[in-house]
Structure 1
Amino acid sequence: MKLLDNPLFHGVSPEELDEMTHCFEMEERTFREKEEIPIHKNVGILLEGSVSINRLNADGSLDMLEYMSNGGIFGSFFSLFEEMGDLIVVCEKNCTVVFIDTCHITKRCSRACHHHSLVVENLLNLMTEKVHQLSEKVEILSHRSIRGKLLCYFQFQQNKTGTADFSLPFSFSALANYLCVDRSAMSRELKKMKNEGIIQMQGRKITLFS
């Protein structure tokens, strides 16, 4: 994915982006699978590959908050935690990330550039989308049973595709982590749902029958 295609730069021309690349001191880095990606006070723009955003628990375990692929944006702007150390970003598939220090976005531009204002506006819209995604996660986790969580998650995915069929964006192990449930128990529940005719599975492709 090209940087200009990222929603953060919607409405920005190639010439303006080239100027901002230098003004914002953008840094492009690559990461390998399972490598931790530092975020600090940066905004990370995922050009290719995939990453998971995880919460670090007191016992050292990780709970997946979000999984994103090409075009995803993560970083301090999108954290709901007071301490950034509570978040761990992990490279799930070899990825390329462009970093921007948040101060370059939030500080007032001396020339009051129109494209700078556009980026700030786009960032606010993206933050709104993140809040919506978080509300989905809260609704999913509000269900006590594994089946309830699975059905809620599947229904959200079905609504996004507009069809009964959809593909999981990550592995079943990652799904269990995302739902905060035991992997083996989730597998048993999926098998029951399949036998009862509630779902059909072929690899990561899921069909949810209403």
Structure 2
Amino acid sequence: MSNDRLKKLFESNELSTKKYSKDEIIYFQNEECSSFDILISGKVSIQKLDENGNILTITNFYPGDSFGGQMIFADNNYYPMNVISKDESIILNIKKSLVLDLCQNNKQFLSELLKSISNKTLIISNKIHDISLKTIRDCILDYLKYEYKLQNTLTLKMKITKKEWAEKIGVHRPSLSRELMKMKQEGLIDYTRNTITIKDIKIL
């Protein structure tokens, strides 16, 4: 779009930006979705809170990622999960009327929107499949294998806290800690606050 076109859209409120602080809830579960959003800066998490108080982080979004596209045109257009700003974030909101106009007049926008919706559906499907079939230990081993490939060392630097790790696999932090302690007692791993050392290479 030209700068003049963008300026007119912002003036008409069809486009707008909003800032969020760290850990601020952007959309509550069951809140109506009325815009297609693009993350300009920061980090956003999609989280599900179950009846037992477990927080499951479905996915994280980073600058350039979008959300809301799979709900904005749905009959039941309400967020099924909480959308939370995990860092100071800026989000571009595109109103439904403008999304419709862009879909009708811009094939590239339509293609990117459909790709975004398809990718989000796959992310959710894969996450539900993984969590429903895997034990806590399976999830721990998946993470260790992934980080071992990235870091190429048996002493792995932790990039997330235990709280974030527990949310990622949908369990309480004490449950994660108990399983890590069991693995340590079995001689499979050792750990400090910021590292995990793989002592038995066979688990990889």
**Same fold, TM exceeding 0.5?**
yes
**In structure 2, what is the Cα distance between the partners aligned to 1:147 and 1:191?**
11
For residue 59 of structure 1, report the CA deviation from its aligned partner: 7.3
**In structure 1, what is the Cα distance between the partners aligned to 2:109 and 2:46?**
23
Q: Which residue in 2 is equivalent to 1:65?
A: 58
For residue 107 of structure 1, report the CA deviation from its aligned partner: 3.6
Report the AA paired with residue 17 of structure 2. Answer: E
Q: Which residue in 2 is equivalent to 1:188?
A: 178
How much is the aligned-residue C-alpha RMSD, in angstroms?
A: 3.8
**Number of residue-to-residue matches in the alignment:** 189
Identity, % of aligned positions: 21
**In structure 2, what is the Cα distance between the partners aligned to 1:183 and 1:134?**
22
1:93 match: secondary structure: coil
**In structure 2, what is the Cα distance between the partners aligned to 1:43 and 1:169?**
30
2:87 match: secondary structure: strand
Distance verdict in 2 for CA 1:194–1:96, change over 3 Å? farther
Q: Which residue in 1 is equivalent to 2:25?
A: 36
8 Å Cα contact 2:33/2:77 also seen in 1: no
**Which blocks of at least 5 consecutive residues in structure 1 are unaligned?**
1-15
For residue 42 of structure 1, report the CA deviation from its aligned partner: 1.3
Residues 1:46 and 2:50 aligned together: no
For residue 75 of structure 1, report the CA deviation from its aligned partner: 1.7
TM-score for the superposition, normalised by structure 2: 0.70
Residues 1:90 and 2:84 aligned together: yes
1:56-83 Cα distance to aligned partner (Å, 9 max, x none) = 5467875432222323322252689945
| Bigger-Rg structure (1/2) | 2
Distance verdict in 2 for CA 1:108–1:81, change over 3 Å? closer
**In structure 1, what is the Cα distance between the partners aligned to 2:117 and 2:87?**
24
**In structure 1, what is the Cα distance between the partners aligned to 2:84 and 2:4?**
30
For residue 187 of structure 1, report the CA deviation from its aligned partner: 1.8
TM-score for the superposition, normalised by structure 1: 0.68
Aligned counterparts, 1:27-176, within 5 A: 27-38=16-27, 40-57=33-50, 62-77=55-70, 82=76, 84-107=78-101, 112=105, 116-155=106-145, 157=146, 164=152, 170-176=160-166
